[in-house]
Chain A
Amino acid sequence: MIDSVGLKLAPVDYLILALYFVFVLGIGWFIRRRVSSSSDFLTSGRSVPVWITSLAFLAANLGAQEVIGMCASGAKYGIMTAHFYWVGAVPAMIFVGIFMMPFYYGSRARSVPEYLKLRFDEKTRTLNAVTFAVMTVFSSGISMYALGLLFQLVLGWNFTTSVLLSAAIVLVYTFMGGLTSAIYNEVLQFFLIILGFAPLAILAVDKAGGWGGIAARIPQPMTHSWVYLSKASENTMGLEVFGLVFGLGFVQSFGYWCTDFLVVQRAMAADSMSSARRTPVLAAFPKMIMPFIVIIPGIAAVALSSAGVGYAIPPKAGGGLDYDQAMTTLMAQFYPSGMLGVGLTALMASFMSGMAGNVTAFNTVWTYDIYQGHIVKNAPDSHYLWVARITTVVGVGLSIAAAYLATHFNNIMDFLQLIFSFVNAPLLATFLLGMFWKRATANGAFIGLFSGTAAAAATHGLTLAEGKGGWLGTVVYSFPATMAQNFWIAIFAWATCFVVTILVSSVTRPKPDSELHNLVYGLTDIAHDGSLPWYKRPGPLAVVVVAALLVLNVLFW
């Protein structure tokens, strides 16, 4: 057991945390009156204004693992970590808003798997629904485990207490107000995360002597995002441009942001088609600046460690540095009691926003796609509302169980996370073909998805990186880093699904055009919005985002 880093909290810190709990529960309490049907509970009755859905879209992804993990990656890989935002997430968010939302929202599907049912068939939907349900339970369990461990390490809090307390609060507010309550809280949590972490970035960078001072103390490849990408051996991630742009940028990021119901659900709760399309585009603005709040502190931590000011990233029990502790140790050194309470509450908020995202996505997919799809098909709506509420309780219970499973079988969890990272890659091919090629057939999609996943497993089994993979016996190729291996696995999974879906589709019978209205490009009416001012139209907003993105990439070239 590693000693706690000795964070001492004052009463004011606990008071801030308590105040936060009161507010999140209070939001749930006020929203509960709005819930009278299963669609109020699970889809917010498609009535949420766009500024709220867009911030919730971002916050649902901003879980504790994202915050802690991105800070850790900043410390390990440097500014190249920003590619997850500037090459990955932001372009993907633009794409899902501009090109895919007309079909998600226009089809009137209540979930991503339900879109697959409308576009393809029941078996494709069920495959996606079951994988997704299992995935969300485990991801929220894993992040609960990470949070409990961190609070134990930093504050000396009991693991069981912090896990159960935070899960109970999420359960109460999602149980009372459903998706609307989760979304409203995510907006509060979003602002808390920004205001709680941003001062840390400013203080840490200032102490390290500004960006110039940081650049002088750490290896060159850590302060440039593109310069060292021409050779895989020269940069920190072991990547070259193709692996980065196609693997991370296209397959992994588009796979997540364009197909994962956890985020797409927020946009689908918007009050109109225009709002739904603008949701991810507007979310891209704050997403772009997140690297300054979560990655830069990690880089500053590396510089501070060599500056002899009394800060060092703590070592890991088994050797090396424990980068996951970079964020919390910085807080301990830069925040006095008072602001420290805000910082820790922000960490708690990020955990809760991620977990509530998982829970609300899980109960929708379970209730509509699995329960209503297979178990009880034609019950009155009040029955499904009841099932949705019960599922919320069960979902939180399963997450807690998964968190405890993680404390006992850490290797299994590593393996599961690896599997999850491949699920979305083939799915992206299925959605792209499903939405933009009306000839794609149900059997093509189903067989394509299976072959894509098999290709992912095979690639992992035949390649080796940092001792991982290669379980098929022969090693065909060795990657310099697991990061590179993951991207290539995703690329092979995507390409296999893409090709197999096309091949099988061309020999199977497609759905007639009459059944594909509002589901496929060419058979969907996309409303013209030319009469609105530019800032209310997704297209012009996207152009502004892309321009800002180019500037950021050049600045950190």
Chain B
Amino acid sequence: MDLRATIGYFFSLIGILVLGTGLATDYRAPLVRANVNLYTGLVLLAFGAVMLLLARMGRQSR
């Protein structure tokens, strides 16, 4: 088991869920004007993608 890949899949999935929520709905927190889910969803997804990339590079170098 490559932990980087596991973490990568996990954050990609919740990133997609959060980003999807931001795109599909207009949930707003009481004190924030922006649609927070769009931004945090992107960050989570990007982090997941980087971990998956690292896992892939690790596999190739081996």
Contact = CB atoms under 8 A, between A and B. Distances in A.
A332 to B, nearest CB: 8
Interface string B12-43: 01100110011001011111100111011101
Nearest to B1: A30
Nearest to B51: A191
Given A188-B7, A311-B31, A337-B27, A19 B36 contact: no
Interface of A: 10, 12, 15-16, 19-20, 23, 26-27, 30-31, 52, 184, 187-188, 191, 195, 199, 203, 207, 309-311, 332-342
A557 B46 CA distance: 35
Contact of A338 (B13, B17, B31, B47): B17
A203 B32 contact: yes
A16 B11 CA distance: 10
B40 A339 contact: yes
B10 A19 contact: yes
A333 B28 CA distance: 10
Contact of B44 (A195, A310, A333, A335): A195
A195 B31 contact: no
A339 B36 contact: yes
7 contacts: A12-B18, A16-B18, A19-B14, A20-B14, A23-B6, A339-B18, A339-B36
Contacts of A16: 14, 17-18
Contact of A336 (B1, B3, B28): B28
A333 B17 contact: no
Nearest to B37: A338
A203 B33 CA distance: 11
A342 B6 contact: no
Interface of A is mostly: helix
B13 A19 contact: yes
Contact of B36 (A20, A23, A199): A199
Nearest to B22: A338
A338 B11 CA distance: 13
A471 B25 CA distance: 59
A203 B6 CA distance: 29
Contacts of A207: 31-32
A335 B34 CA distance: 11
Contacts, number: 94
Contacts of B3: 52, 184, 187-188
Contact of A310 (B13, B27, B28, B30): B30
B12 to A, nearest CB: 11
Nearest to B21: A338
In the A-B complex, list the 4 residue pairs whose CB atoms are closest, starting with the nearest.
Answer: A338-B21, A336-B27, A338-B37, A333-B31
A195 B11 contact: yes
A310 B31 contact: yes
Given A12-B21, A342-B40, 12 more contacts: A20-B10, A199-B40, A207-B32, A311-B31, A334-B32, A334-B36, A335-B29, A336-B37, A338-B18, A338-B21, A339-B18, A342-B18
Nearest to B34: A203
Given A195-B44, A342-B44, A334 B31 contact: yes
A131 to B, nearest CB: 34
B62 to A, nearest CB: 13
B29 A336 contact: yes
Nearest to B47: A195
A31 B3 CA distance: 11
Contacts of B28: 336
A16 B13 CA distance: 9
A187 B17 CA distance: 21
A27 B14 CA distance: 17
A337 B17 CA distance: 11
Contacts of A338: 17-18, 21-22, 25, 27, 36-37, 40-41
Nearest to B3: A184
A31 B44 CA distance: 25
A492 to B, nearest CB: 44
A449 to B, nearest CB: 39
A42 B22 CA distance: 43
A27 B6 contact: yes
Nearest to B14: A16
Contacts of A199: 36, 39-40, 43
Contacts of A342: 14, 18, 40, 44
A31 B37 CA distance: 33
Contacts of B44: 195, 342
Contacts of B7: 187-188, 191
A376 B38 CA distance: 58
A207 B6 CA distance: 35
Contacts of A52: 3
